[in-house]
Amino acid sequence: MNSAKISVPELNSPELYINREQSLLEFNVRVLAQALDENLPLLERLNYLCISCSNLDEFYEVRVASLLQMAEMDATLISADGLSIQEQFEKISIKAHELVAEQYRVLNDVLIPRLETQNIRFLRRDNWSLTQKAWLEKYFNEELLPILTPVGLDSAHPFPRILNKSLNFIISLTGKDAFGRNSGRAILQAPRALPRIIQLPVTETDNGPHDFVFLSSIIHEFVSELFNGMTVKGCYQFRVTRNSDFFVDDDAIDDLMLAVEGELAMRNYGDEVRLEIDANCPEETVNFLLARFELTADRMFLANGPVNLSRIQAIYAMVDRPDLKFLPFKPGVPSAMGRNKDIFASIRKQDILLHHPYESFMPVVDFIRQAAADPDVLAIKQTLYRTGVDSPIVAALIKAARAGKEVTVVIELRARFDEKDNIGLAAKLQEAAAHVVYGVVGYKTHAKMCMVLRKEGSTLRNYVHLGTGNYHPKTARLYTDYGLFTCEKELSEDVRRVFMQLTSLGKVSKLNKLLQSPFTLHYGLLKMVDKEIEQAKKGKPAKIIIKVNAVVEEQAIQALYRASQAGVEIKMIVRGICCLRPGVPGVSDNIEVRSIVGRFLEHTRIYAFYNGGDWAVYASSADLMNRNLFRRVEVCFPIADKRISERIINDLHANLKDNSQAWLLQTNGQYLRATPGDQPVFQVQTELLKTFCQ
């Protein structure tokens, strides 16, 4: 029987690629879906709503801002999926407006009513009792009035500079002030120090301790107190999102820290990219603000509630209701470390893998603390990308430096939204006489590495920690990541060479085992894909499993398409952006892509190749993105210990087995949530918690 021949497109055909921005918005749709999951604790569902909102903020601050800059440079640019910049803006607007409408629907129609059943209430102005209104008026007069500064708009009072993502009000007025002025409009900026949610005292509620009022509601109600002798005709909240990505000219700077500090000062006043405004705002006022900020209607959003939903996240800490939150857990500690408090002795015995947050991050902190206190330790070298303001790791490094050890820290000052914190950490380390460098100009240092040089008898030994995530104890309880301790000679020598490369100006000789961007990582991964293709063409089993945060880089996508065409079985676990289109006949039939959205943010990067039955497993700080592969310093390290590599493969298979928190990417770019059907519910994060935690 003859079958119709499938028309197979060229591998660079636009139809084979999903738009990056649409894929990122789809991820936020999956996050928001968690807020509707009846199986999750109620306050956690509220958290997911807030996360989807803060994610959308960053999307406009960075991605939309980047597209706008690209359009200014060359409006004719076409993305890999064949869309012009203008077409991308049109699709972004449609999807983003749908997402925002759903966010407010979930808040107003789902979560607020459910919270009320648990005696957690957001009181609207028309529901305030007389005594509550009196208490709130006193709060306004004593706590708010002294620090609020309205600005009437006239020739002597121009429109004020509006801070990025700040809460503001535009107020319509009639009448004249003491000087006979009547501009008709005023702007009121709410200082960021003010809480956005105010909890009523128990004496003012018959509903228990969890009655709350939005700051915006209080200001709306009592705003006339700011305009004595005038009449307030309308008061409408609004918020402006600005370009928060900054540019440092690598060729024109002498001091990177000073350049970054200078750019940080301007971040709050970047170009406007989005306007959010009260849904009840009159059209005339909306148009006035759009014109003032030089924005078009497609980047204006009407808010059916507070203009910054992410600030509602404060409720989580204010409400002491463990029954409405995830059960607490105590991370496990590997038996290899639990039995022996001498971390160096444990690592000498065998490589040790940590899987956060199921296993504690404390061994990493203890590793550096022990190195700081050990008289046999001569030097410590570490990269820091994000680590937190009061980092115990930085404290240990400072202690080591003050003890006279050679401490070298590579701090990435341009870690987005952590720049200010990192500048402060760099200053503290320098004060303690640590050697601080800022990586390589033009390349962000994103690798996660720590090396301890220890004198043992007549020999020197390097102890190394390599990770897929940041040296940040707090996020290590929220993100899934792997960390490897080893003192294997060739691998630790590679780490030493990479540090030399980051701190000196010379070239580094060929690495033994590490793959490193921007040099060997991209080529090395594609070479391993090619090996699987060769196996498949010989009729032998060939498999690839990849777990990353994002898949964007075109050459890598095309390599995976070729592998699929050759018969390689490819399973991909991609948390966020995925531009690869699975299930295209003749191209990606053998590729499955899934995203897991659960209690923890999936953050591990693993590249696993069947390798003729002897799995070759690599962990990395890098995703399959152009920036990671070509514009950052990243490392990708092999898992040589078969016991550990088998464990990681089992973890990957558990991810592929998830039938409850997994979302399957369809050929059309949409995601469908996996359902158990008649099978038992299997959630990989829940199972790992059971396995490792107490």
Give the mean model confidence (pLDDT) for residues 198-216: 89
Per-residue confidence (pLDDT) for residue 259, from 0 to 100: 47
Query: What whole-number percentage of the chain has pLDDT above 70?
Result: 93
DSSP 418: -
pLDDT tens for 149-165 read: 998 887 666 888 899 99
When pLDDT is cut at 50, 70 and 90, the band that residue 250 belongs to is very low
Q: What is the mean pLDDT of the chain?
A: 91
* Mean pLDDT, residues 29-39 taken together: 97
Least confident of 502-506, 649-653, 666-670, 687-691: 502-506
**What are the structure tokens assigned to 205, written together?**
């509620």
> What is the C-alpha to C-alpha distance for residues 529 and 447, in angstroms, rounded to an integer?
23
Answer whether 342's CB lies under 8 Å from 366's CB.
Answer: no
Residue 252 has pLDDT above 50, yes or no: no
* pLDDT computed for residue 154 by the predictor: 76
172 vs 185: CA distance, rounded Å? 5
Q: Would you state the pLDDT for residue 104?
A: 97
Given this model, what pLDDT does residue 111 score?
Answer: 97
Instruction: State pLDDT tens for residues 286-342.
Output: 999 999 999 999 999 999 999 989 999 999 999 999 999 999 999 999 888 876 689
Identity of residue 305: G
Q: How confident is the model at residue 636 (pLDDT cuts 50, 70, 90)?
A: very high
Does residue 515 have a pLDDT over 50? yes
Say whether pLDDT at 256 is over 50.
no
DSSP state, residue 301:
E
Residues known to be catalytic: 446
pLDDT surpasses 90 at 110: yes
| Residue 520 to residue 636: CA distance in whole angstroms | 10
pLDDT range class, residue 188, cuts 50, 70, 90:
very high
CA-CA distance, 85 to 76, in Å (whole number)? Answer: 7
Helices (H) and strands (E) in the chain, counts: 21, 27
505: left (phi over 0), alpha (psi -120 to 50) or beta: alpha
Query: Residue 417's pLDDT is what?
Result: 60
What are 366-420's pLDDT values in tens digits?
A: 999 999 999 999 999 999 988 877 899 999 999 999 999 999 999 887 656 667 7
Range 103-124 average pLDDT:
96
